[in-house]
Every structure is written in C-alpha cells, then in structure tokens.
Amino acid sequence: MELLAQIPLIGGTLAVVVPFLVVLSIVVFVHEYGHYIVGRWCGIKAEVFSIGFGKVLWKWTDRRGTRWQVAVLPLGGFVRFVGDMNPASAGHADEGDLTPEERKAAFHNAGLLRRTLTVAAGPCANFLLSVVIFAGIILALGAPSNDPVIGLIGPEAVEDVGLEPGDRVLSISGQEVADFGDIISILARTNGVPQSAMVERGGDVRQITVRYHRIPQIAQITPGMPAARAGLLSGDVFVSIDGAPVNSYRELQLIVSDKLHGAEIEIEIDRDGERLAFRFVPELVMRQHPVTDEKVLLPTMGIRGTALAGIEPEREPVAIYRALGGGVIQTWSIISGTMIYIGDMVFKGADTSQLGGPIRIAEISGDAAKRGFSSVLWLIAVLSTSIGLINLFPIPILDGGHLMFYAVEFVRGRPVGEVWMRVGTMIGLSLVLLLMVFATYNDLVRL
C-alpha cells in the first residue's frame, strides 16, 4: 500500500480506497456465498451471483446456469434466486414466465424450512468467517506464556525500559518474580520511576535498571459503561480529569478511585491531535483498589489501558480446539458489545457519533493496510461479524426481516401477503437509507 500512496495526486486516496474495497468485497462475497451454497443444497436455483451493483464489468455463467458477475459499484452484492422479483427476494415474479422446471427450483416455492435456512446462511457465513480468522490469528501468534521471560519489547515501551527479549526476570525492587503476571503487577505500581531488577540474560545473572510507563490511553471501551455512553473511543489519550493533569495510566486510576461516589467528572482527552471534553458520572463497580488491592466499590468509567505497555511475554503453541474456542469468544464479544451499545443508544441516550459509515470504514481499512496483513485480517473478521449481526436485525429488506416474515408465516400457517411484503420492504429500505445517511453525516462531521 506504500506504493499506492506514492502515486502523484491520487496516491493517498488509493491507499484508503483499495484496502476498503478488498475488505468489503471479501466480507460481501462470503455473506452472499452463504446464501448461494445453502440455497443450492436446498434445491433452490440461483440465477445471478453479483459482487457490486450497476453496470456489469465482468460475467461468467457456470454449468448450473448461474451467472457470476462483478458490477461497477462494489458497495455490496446479492444473490438472485429463480422467481425473485428483485435481488432482495422481496416478493416473486409472475410464475407464467417460468418453466415447470424453474418453478420447482424457485425460491418462493421452496418450503419454509428451506427458505429459512437459505436466508440465515448469509449471516452465519459471516460469523463462521470471523471465527476462522480469529482462530487462525491465535494459531499463528500462539498463546502468551506465563513464564517470567520477556518475549518482545514493543514500540509503545519507553526507550530506556532496560529489559531485552529473552530476559528471565528474577526480581524487581527486591520482590521475587514467580511468573509474567508478577512482572507487570510490580512494574504497574512504579508509575515510571526507575527500578532495580535482577535478570538472567545470556546465561548470566545481572542487575539492571528498568523503567515502565503506561500512557493514559484507552485500549478498550467496555460496552454499556459511562465512558462508552459518553462517546469516548479506543485510542483516546487522557489529558486531565477535573483540571488535574494525567501523565500515566496509574495516575488515571488513582484520580478516579479517589473521586466521591456519584460525583460527576470532567475529562479532557486528546483524539488524533484534537482536544475534546466530556462530562459524566462514573459507575460504582466492585473491583480491586489500585493501592490496597482490596475488592471494594469504586467509581469506574469502563475503560482499559494498554495492558503491557510494550513488554510482551513469550508465546507458546496453541491447540486447534483452543484457537477455535478463542475465535468463538472473540466473535461473541463483538456481537454482545454491539447489542449493548445499541441498547444504550435507544434507552440511555448514549453518544451516537460513534456510528460510522463507508468513509470511516475506508479510513480504518487504510490504517489496517499500513499496519500489515494481520491487521487487515483482523479488520475483515470484525467487519464480517458486524455485517452478519446487522443483517439479522428484524428490518424488512435485511435477512432478519425475511426471517421475521417467515416466523409470522410459521405462526399463521400461510405466507405474508404480497402487499404487506412490498410495504415492509419499502419501510425497511427507508430505514436502511436513513441509517446510511446518518452514519455518513457522522463521518463528514468528524472529517
């Protein structure tokens, strides 16, 4: 992508647009292929499998009579089954135009179970893709070892950290170290003050000086907590709380834990060079006190900092079943976090500026491409989960809307009428367009 960025005049745009189109095309293809392959297994014939909309740039017809095509506007895709009135499978065309063989393979003539499986297969394919990618990343990277051995010193570590990859830490400031967790636990309390440590390096035991500093940056937002509702984002760096400067994550923890219960706080953060202010009331949560280690009710914003501040443990191989389990957990965490955020928006007035549209996704795709292939894979997995979940919302025109109609059909014993189907589709299309406009508006305001 660096090569694209060097193209005069348009290089910067291409470095953002190309990764975005690649990521989106992969996610869309997997979603639509889920519909296609399960439909085929259920005896439903697909007429068209399209990536993109509008004028067709390339097409090919396979031996089953399905036309595979790539269209000029690559912002989605569709599978049109035999008998569909449109790509959204909302209503069906006149059967008089179909041969007896086509009627038998038409989508609307398939049984309720076969139609349900075909529609649900799209989001399920997205979830499966996410699980596989997350599991693959876990397999490739391995699991963190708890041995007190330094595996990697990352770029976020301070320059004079003192430790080197391969060091086995024996003690810090006279405190014996039993595992890697002890290293981080002891150093986290030092707040950047240099400490004496004993390490085994290259077969020799030596005394060194180590320094550990966690910048007051948000690495993760807990859905449903005050910080998420207020509109804080991952990557935000704290500047001050109630006017008191914040220089480290340790200071941030100490300042917040000392606040009065139920008191509103005013924070200032740095977001990509821009200073922003927020006011909200932290929520009381039972957690470990940063000084005494006792579990008590403390004011909590609902954020997490960079856990290791650049000091990474060694990694060890992971069994496939553990990696798959980790993939499922990661996929579910995205789903549950999204649902909590939506609930907060609807019922608790959470900040809606976090909703992003195509421009925001394109920016994130470009950033991921700069960081490397693994970051792009991670983005594909996250976006795949999100698209799968959104498609399950019970909005006509989305897969969830079709499943809602099928649930009504199951209860009533007969399909929803064509008129209601078309009205629902128009309402669903309007809602989706409004959401897209709102998300794009957020993108433009941010820019």
pLDDT (tens digit per residue) in 344-369: 777 766 666 666 666 666 667 667 66
pTM assigned to the model: 0.79
Assess whether pLDDT exceeds 70 at residue 260. Answer: yes
The one-letter code for the residue type at 407 is A
219 pLDDT more than 90:
no
User: What pLDDT does 5 receive?
Assistant: 44
Mean pLDDT of 203-211: 92
Q: What's the burial of 319, exposed, middle or buried (CB within 10 Å: 0-12/13-18/19+)?
A: exposed
Supply the pLDDT for residue 434.
Answer: 78
Q: At what angle do helices 112-141 and 399-412 cross, to 10 degrees?
A: 140
Decide if pLDDT at 126 tops 80.
yes
Range in 21-30, 133-142, 292-301 with the lowest mean pLDDT:
292-301
Mean pLDDT of 68-82: 89
| DSSP letters for 111-177 | -HHHHHHHHHHHHHHHHHHHHHHHHHHHHHH-EEP-SSBEEEE-TTS-TT----TT-EEEEETTEE-
Mean pLDDT along residues 71-88 = 78
Residue 205's pLDDT is: 93
CB atoms within 10 A of CB 194: 12
Q: Which of 54-68, 267-281, 294-308, 375-389 has the lowest mean pLDDT?
A: 294-308
Residue 447 in this model has a pLDDT that exceeds 60? no
Residue 432 pLDDT greater than 70, yes or no: yes
Banded pLDDT at 11 (limits 50, 70, 90): very low
Distance CA 154, CA 68 (A): 45
Angle among Cα 237, 348, 267 to the nearest 5 degrees reads 25
Place of tokens 């038409």: 106
At residue 67, does pLDDT exceed 90?
Answer: yes
DSSP 235: T
List the Cα angle 21/27/33 in 5-degree steps: 125
Q: Report the share of the chain in percent with pLDDT over 70.
A: 86
Q: Is the dihedral of CA 308, 310, 316, 319 positive or negative?
A: positive
Q: How does the average pLDDT of the chain come out, rounded?
A: 84
Q: What are the backbone angles phi and psi of residue 192, rounded to the nearest 5°?
A: 90, -5
Query: Helical H runs in 176-248?
Result: 180-188, 226-230
pLDDT digits (tens, 9 = 90+) for 57-66: 999 999 999 9
CA dist list (Å): 383 to 10, 23, 30, 131 = 26, 8, 12, 12
Say whether domain 218-305 belongs to CATH 2.30.42.10: yes
pLDDT surpasses 70 at 115? yes
CB distance 102 to 82 below 8 Å: yes
Q: What is residue 165's predicted lDDT score, i.e. its pLDDT?
A: 93
Task: Write down the catalytic residue from 2, 32, 159, 251.
Answer: 32
Pair of tokens at residue 39: 């439909």
Radius of gyration for the chain, computed over Cα atoms and rounded to the nearest angstrom: 26
> For the residues 405-416, what does the mean pLDDT come to?
88
Give residue limits of the domains in the chain: 2-140+381-446, 144-210, 218-305
Do 197 and 256 contact (CB within 8 A), yes or no? no
Tokens coding 131: 């699980």
Are 144-210 and 218-305 in the same CATH fold?
Answer: yes
Annotation marks residue 156 as catalytic = no
158: confidence class by pLDDT, cuts 50, 70, 90: confident
Report the distance separating Cα 381 and Cα 133, nearest Å: 6
At 273, the amino acid letter reads G
Q: Tell me the C-alpha distance between 146 and 186, whole Å.
A: 15
Are 61 and 70 in contact by the 8 Å Cβ rule? The answer is no
Listed residue (302, 366, 377, 375) closest to 132, CA to CA? 377
CA–CA distance from 258 to each of 185, 189, 287, 298 (Å)?
Answer: 20, 16, 14, 8
Q: Are the C-beta atoms of residues 341 and 227 closer than 8 Å to each other?
A: no
Mean pLDDT of 126-153: 93
Between 115 and 16, residue with greater pLDDT: 115
> For the range 290-295, what are the long-range contacts, defined as Cβ-Cβ under 8 Å and sequence gap of 24 or more?
290/250, 290/253, 290/254, 290/257, 291/254, 291/257
The 10 Å Cβ neighbour count of residue 164 is 12
The rounded percent of the chain whose pLDDT value lies above 90 is: 39
Using DSSP's 3-state secondary structure scheme, residue 50 falls into strand
The structural architecture, per CATH, of the domain 144-210 is Roll (2.30)
270 phi, psi to nearest 5 deg: -110, 120
Over residues 433-445, the pLDDT tens digits come to: 777 776 666 656 6
**Mean pLDDT highest for which of 78-87, 114-123, 268-277?**
114-123
